[in-house]
Structure 1
């Protein structure tokens, strides 16, 4: 039950996250590795154009897609992490910890390196690479999720399932290393560039598909607040509410895997966001009620992802810093805080 005080707190949190996300999102459009005057950016956004055609191109073909991609990817990874943490009742669960991100990367590696660019040969280099990333990430993440679902039908201990996920992650990483070792220099270069993780790789042509698939999955997650709250109260309570505990966990893992696979396919592996954002949302709300926690996590994920994107382009004189070099700087202190205060903070009640 949401009290008047918690409603007031939630309203403040939602308003703050929304305003901050808009401010940082606009900053990502106005600030970049190429210095464009403020008034020229404004003119471009309102349709008047800029003095240099290249500035218009940078704003509309690079910065705006980058900003939208960063917001959606951050929200998707954050929800993926939240679903996993609730499913496993463990604050350190996440798509990267459980091997889903690594599995998606392994799928891309198998098609890029192991298949010798088969899809590139069928569809052409540009479209083939695009199709390879999507198909590979979905297949890789799907295999890992299927393995986790298979083990969950036999093993009910969530800690053991978490350990199995970590082992699968190591096995996937080993497979990727072997594929890199036996592949040509050109194939390895193509995979390494993708593996760095970047929001800038999503073009204006790819953005509609990425946005549509991500938004559908996020809307799907919004319908899960009641079963997620029931899961916090124990398996017996879940069954009393009419849910099948095994089917519920399988559904949560599937949605989490789909969200991770979509982001990994389009942006490459992005670390830490799925792990840290749910904790930030819980701490801001001081609640584990998923009715408010899910939308707060979506907003918080978008904000932190946009903030990392802004920080990556601030030192414009030396180029753009990889996003995965920024996320640990923000993520590690948060995880240390969670570990040190786990007994004092009640995350799953």
Structure 2
């Protein structure tokens, strides 16, 4: 590890800084909440020496929420970087191909068309997560099939935009025909949240996100080749179509899994890669990908801390915080704050 940091020079120390910030913010996430706990007690609980109510609060309530935020931040940031590189578009994000819209349709069918699912044996929260995952998966399959047919990044972006419009229209129809109580629940889901996860459900998020992150890290070399253009990448022996499909599949796995558990989380996947580029000052994915993942963890946990801050009363929507973070970054990119690809 020390050799890797030294080889990366100043960029390596930024990676160390991101990692340290992530750990410190995670510890704060375990300590702060409706009942604040001393960091010494949190540390003792993590070492297996905690007892009583404090241990329950840390391990059963806050630990799943912090891990959910960390996984979501890492996964969405990596997915956003993949999409921005594959499509050579600084405003591409995990939802650019309509995956978030597909997840929303699945959830709307469960939450707004309740009579259809009234006899389902699954718990409501598990049913919602499954519906979001299968909705995103359906859109992902359509995109991958289209990629084999058209083989053009610009056309795929247009297809993703049209799929998003179609999904929005379907959700609007379901909303118009739904009951007020069901509609309120759907609106709350659309605000995003890292809360509500349990130790029993957590592996269903962590495992696919871990697989997606490993795939994203394995793609750093072909991503670097794509930076100089598809024609040049082909001349270097890169199978551009295959790389694009793997990147889309990886992004879909990450975005679909996270949306299923957390709802549609805005701006993290779009903004974090640009913030990482600004700090690291490189387009080399060997540095940029791990840096983006670590920074995604830190910023997502920080957003979760802001949502849980005492002055908010626990009522601040997650997407309000992520939008306050991400929207200025997007404006900075649009106004030329940093040249794309640097």
**Cα distance change on mapping 1:38 and 1:133 into 2, 3 Å:** same
**C-alpha contact 1:80 1:259 (8 A) present in aligned 2:** yes
**Cα distance change on mapping 1:38 and 1:296 into 2, 3 Å:** closer
Q: Distance in 1 between matches of 2:312 and 2:217?
A: 42
1:173 corresponds to: 168
Q: Distance in 2 between matches of 1:80 and 1:116?
A: 35
Q: CA deviation at 1:146?
A: 3.2
1:58 aligned onto 2:57: yes
2:120 corresponds to: 122
1:252 corresponds to: 247
Q: Distance in 2 between matches of 1:317 and 1:280?
A: 26
1:34 corresponds to: 35
Q: CA deviation at 1:49?
A: 4.1
TM-score normalised by length of structure 2? 0.89
Bigger shift: residues 64-73 or 229-238: 229-238
1:68 corresponds to: 67
Q: Distance in 1 between matches of 2:292 and 2:252?
A: 17
2:92 corresponds to: 93
Give the alignment of 1:203-282 within 5 angstroms. 203-282=198-277
Q: Name the SS for the 1:231 alignment partner.
A: helix
Give the alignment of 1:100-119 within 5 angstroms. 100-114=99-113, 116=115, 118=117
Q: CA deviation at 1:62?
A: 1.4
**Cα distance change on mapping 1:169 and 1:205 into 2, 3 Å:** same
The runs of 5 or more residues in structure 1 that have no matched partner are none
**Cα distance change on mapping 1:317 and 1:143 into 2, 3 Å:** closer
**Cα distance change on mapping 1:317 and 1:40 into 2, 3 Å:** farther
Q: Name the SS for the 1:171 alignment partner.
A: helix
**C-alpha contact 1:133 1:265 (8 A) present in aligned 2:** yes
2:283 corresponds to: 288
Q: How many aligned residue pairs are there?
A: 339
1:194 aligned onto 2:189: yes
**C-alpha contact 2:6 2:12 (8 A) present in aligned 1:** no
The runs of 5 or more residues in structure 2 that have no matched partner are none
**C-alpha contact 1:80 1:255 (8 A) present in aligned 2:** yes
2:83 corresponds to: 84
Q: Name the SS for the 1:108 alignment partner.
A: helix
Q: Distance in 2 between matches of 1:152 and 1:62?
A: 42
TM-score normalised by length of structure 1? 0.87
